[in-house]
Structure 1
Amino acid sequence: MSSDRLKNVGLRPRVLVVGFAGHQGKEYLSIVRENADVVGGVDPAPAASALADEWGFPHYGVLDEALEKVEFDAAVVTVPHSEHFPVCTELLAHGRHVIKEKPFAVTEEEARQLIHLAQRADRSVFTLLQRNFNPVFRFAQKNLARIGQPYWFSYDYHLNLAHPTTGWRASREQAMGGVLLDMGYHLIDVLSGLFPEPPRVHSAFVHQYREMRDRRLEDLVSLMCSYPSTGLAGSLRISRHNHEKIERLCVLGTEGALNVAPQVATLHSVGGLPLDHCAWAGPKIDAVRSMIAHHLGHLDDRYYRQDHLQRQLAAVRTIDGIYRDRLGEQNKLADRCA
């Protein structure tokens, strides 16, 4: 149906935007319209109807109504974490492609179900992760082998929010996790493109604000990953309330080092001599534009789809495993105190 239409006629894909009235949805709207025809939007927010009128597409309060009334090829989904799985499963059951915000899924079980539904429907589920379309991170992946055998990495990603988390990310029922699931998903995905899944991960969860501790939504997480078969180890630190906003990845290898920040990556020799670098002065929106155009242009590319699904499964499995280990530790502690 939609796949045959796009391949045989060469038309622009018709897109339904789900959750378009939120911050991320509004950011994507103009970019989606550069590459597709937005034929409808779903969002129960009070401001959604006026926004849809402004952009010139029909507005629906619930997905079921849009599925009944609108013909579309793919949906761009930007909803709270708790809504990802039910929205995506319904779209796949109706034979639609899905382009969605991270995470791909909250649990490994949900991820496997989504992959099964996507394969059965012969449809794509692509996750929006802009670092994969940032030239600096692409340079890092392409040139990693130049530092020899990696033996250590450190990855820091911090925001500098001055107040407790607000909105749906402050709700356990909607967010379903703290900084690890939200910010950390980007980092785990980057590492999935560089290294295998870590067999062992030790974690420390920290709460700056009491209300976040009570809701079991971590403000900071520190991870130690180890890969015994290769001798590789590494650390990740992720937080929302640092004194400065920063992202930095460093990989040490037997023949040099690779340092990566969002706008520059540098290769150094063992002694510290600069060997090569990649600088990118473009705004973040350029990477977002490239990402959305790429996904919309590869909806029917089964090879790209399969690679993407397997990489997302690895990321979800890692994060879900960390949360499950954390819950197990808490249950053991509760049993000791009982």
Structure 2
Amino acid sequence: MLGDRLENVRPRLRVLAVGFAGHQGKEYLPIVRESADIVGGVDPAPAASSLADEWQFPHFDLLSEAFGKVEFDAALVTVPHSEHFPVCTRLLAHGVHVIKEKPFAVTEGEARQLIHLAQRADRSVFTLLQRNFNPVFQFAQANLARIGEPYWFSYDYHFNLAHPTTGWRASREQAMGGVLLDMGYHLIDVLSGMFPEPDPLRVHSAFVHQFQEMRDRRLEDLVSLMCSYPSTGLTGSLRISRHNHEKIEHLCVLGTEGALNVAPGVATLHSVGGLPLERYTWEGPKVDAVRSMLSHHLGHLDDRNYRRDHFQRQLVTVRTIDRIYRDRLRDQNALADRCA
């Protein structure tokens, strides 16, 4: 009987941390270690070696150096946007699962290729999106039907940074987009889980630059979107910025039978006349949602159904953002041609 129990005990997963010396990577290290063994880290940053010593795992400057020197089942990838695709394709070719920071991919073409490679290798590529594991957003998803047919939404997400963006997010070559790709990815993923994919011809955008250096680099500080869903009659708006007067996130959905309001700590259902029907609050620390997210992904690496659903949702999110950027570039080129 003891032997049977021992046979059913799964060995701890072995994880390689890629980009672990950045802010996000350092945040994930202690949480990953709760569920898996970190067997090595890849990061060329000057501080990476001492951080690896602190966490007592081997350090490599390059991913190629880790191959063959450590055995690992999955990789946790937290690198600048420009590195996501080349890093993930090399990891899939090596036959390991990938758990990565958003975005899943920068372009629709990259997303489709990544899905193809993952399916061919029978491996998962999971994107770290904390709202999917925040109890307030889970409540909103589970109770959306209580407001009837949604016909309008507004989603605002703003930081209150006083100075221009710094670090790799201030580099066009590394960031590959401004707030739409960075902050907006979270919001569009939430909407992708709540509503059908919007008709790409009905997404209208406005890009704003508060700082001249960001305008010169074509990295938007603020984006405003108007989306319509012709098949359902749903319309909505998103506003995303880094330099608002206050930090805020608020989603409001109006339906034929009521309204749903969502913020990171509270969700409220209202009747058509505004009478509160139910209020759900969550006061847990952010780390609880992060812990749930990482534990869930690590526990479902071989779940092909979960993998398929994740791929489909991320493809919708990437496709929506990619088409907004491409439509804007097309309009800019058309304007330049008219002015020439």
TM-score by length of 2: 0.97
Report the equivalent of 2:135.
135
Report the equivalent of 1:34.
34
Q: Distance in 1 between matches of 2:280 and 2:75?
A: 34
Aligned with 1:229 (options 217, 228, 231) = 231
Report the equivalent of 1:64.
64
Report the equivalent of 1:82.
82
Report the equivalent of 2:332.
330
Deviations 1:269-312 (A, max 9, x none): 00111111210001111100100000001110111010001000
AA at the equivalent of 1:192? S
Q: Distance in 2 between matches of 1:236 and 1:285?
A: 26
Report the equivalent of 1:149.
149
Once the two structures are TM-superposed, the CA of residue 9 in structure 1 deviates from its matched residue by: 6.0
Aligned with 2:259 (options 254, 257, 276) = 257
SS of residue paired to 2:261? strand
Unaligned runs of 5+ in 1: 1-6
Report the equivalent of 1:218.
220
Report the equivalent of 1:285.
287
Report the equivalent of 1:4.
none
Once the two structures are TM-superposed, the CA of residue 230 in structure 1 deviates from its matched residue by: 1.1
Deviations 1:17-69 (A, max 9, x none): 00000000000000000000000000000000000000000000000110121
Aligned residues with identical type, % of pairs: 86
Q: Distance in 2 between matches of 1:294 and 1:273?
A: 36
Q: Distance in 2 between matches of 1:49 and 1:101?
A: 22
After superposition, the Cα gap between the structure-2 partners of 1:80 and 1:50, relative to the gap in structure 1 and judged at 3 Å, is same
Q: Distance in 2 between matches of 1:227 and 1:197?
A: 7
The number of residues matched between the two structures is 332
Q: Distance in 2 between matches of 1:21 and 1:106?
A: 22
C-alpha RMSD of matched pairs (Å): 0.9
Higher mean C-alpha deviation, range 254-263 or range 224-233: 224-233
SS of residue paired to 1:68? coil
Aligned with 1:319 (options 315, 321, 333) = 321
Tell me if 1:295 matches 2:288: no
SS of residue paired to 2:277? strand
TM-score by length of 1: 0.97
Runs of 4 or more above 6 Å deviation: none
Q: Distance in 1 between matches of 2:48 and 2:266?
A: 38
Unaligned runs of 5+ in 2: 1-6
